[in-house]
Amino acid sequence: MTHADLSNYLIYPNPENPRLTSQVTGRDHTGADVDVDVVTEQGLTVYLNKQEIVTLMTLGDHPEYLAVGFLLNQNMLRADDVVTGIDVDEELEVVIVRTQRETNYEDKLKKKVRTSGCAQGTVFGDIMEKFDTISLAADARLKTSWLYTLSRQINTTPSIYQKAGAIHGCVLCKQDQPLVYMEDVGRHNAIDKIAGYMHMHHIAPDDKCFYTTGRLTSEMVIKTVQMRIPILISRSGFTAWGVDLACKAGLTLIGRAKGRKFVALAGYERLIYDADLAYVADEPKHSGRKHAD
């Protein structure tokens, strides 16, 4: 496989990190012994100042970005909150986010565990609280030539998925360049890692697009809108509620983006059809990346 140019990435997966995968011996369909790489999964308990908030089941990398992004997307952190410190204890599997603003959620919260599966899991706060008040950049545009370049770049970037599978990926992009690529056992964790990275590195969302390997669900749409990113792209399909919410928010929603094919079900006025399809390779049937949905 020809690997992508990684020079434009700010951060990308490290499939050689020994903490993120382990090797298990089993038997294949012929009865022969086989060594298989599998992804790790561990608990991460998030504190906001002195209050325990949630235990997330996660891959285990970038705990600081995951914690900050989770708190942002649950409306526990505000966009203007000043994070004064982040303490990570890998042995105890704990991360503490400290803020200048005093916070107290003791009366609202009990200890919860949020699963790494594809369902919503345990969610705190009203994630729809700000949804109707957010305005996305109306002048954002996506050229189809950028879309095809992004798909090719992302699908050839070395990843934990290529090594072990059973994982989701999310990528923050600008025009035809992928910038921030995060993976995790749950797609909500991968999204939150990017939200945390954007907040901590002061990355503006208005001229960005968001690429995910998972389904375009209501959760995906809500979090993308909360992050104020105007364009959301996926190789996978849609849910009806996801499409409805995208239309209400003015979000450009593009799914089934494989090879030269894609479908836009909301916000397609942002699309500029500049690519010559005669020069865009289609994907062969029964091939390509298949992430867990």
Q: What is the pLDDT of residues 207-240, one digit of tens each?
A: 999 999 889 999 899 999 999 999 999 999 999 9
pLDDT in the model for residue 281:
84
The CA dihedral of 62, 99, 90, 125, to the nearest 10 degrees, is -70
pLDDT in the model for residue 4:
78
- CATH number of 142-279, picked from 3.40.140.10, 3.40.50.1360, 1.10.600.10, 3.30.1330.30: 3.40.140.10
pLDDT in the model for residue 267:
97
Name the residue ranges covered by the structural domains of the chain. Answer: 142-279
pLDDT in the model for residue 127:
61
More confident residue, 57 or 108: 57
pLDDT in the model for residue 117:
46
What does the pLDDT average to over 94-98? 97
pLDDT in the model for residue 248:
95
Cα gap 249→266, rounded to integer Å: 9
Which residue intervals of the chain are DSSP H helices? 63-73, 144-155, 160-164, 187-200, 218-226, 240-249
Q: Supply 193's token pair.
A: 């890692």
Residue with token string 């770049």: 153
pLDDT in the model for residue 288:
46
In this predicted model, what pLDDT tens digit does every residue of 100-125 receive, in sequence order?
A: 988 876 655 654 545 444 444 444 44
pLDDT in the model for residue 107:
56
How distant, in Å, are the alpha carbons of 61, 96, 115, 159, 186 from that of 90? 10, 12, 19, 23, 20
pLDDT in the model for residue 186:
86
CB 230 within 8 A of CB 253: no
In this predicted model, what pLDDT tens digit does every residue of 132-174 receive, in sequence order?
A: 889 999 999 999 999 999 999 999 999 999 898 888 999 999 9
Cα gap 28→18, rounded to integer Å: 24
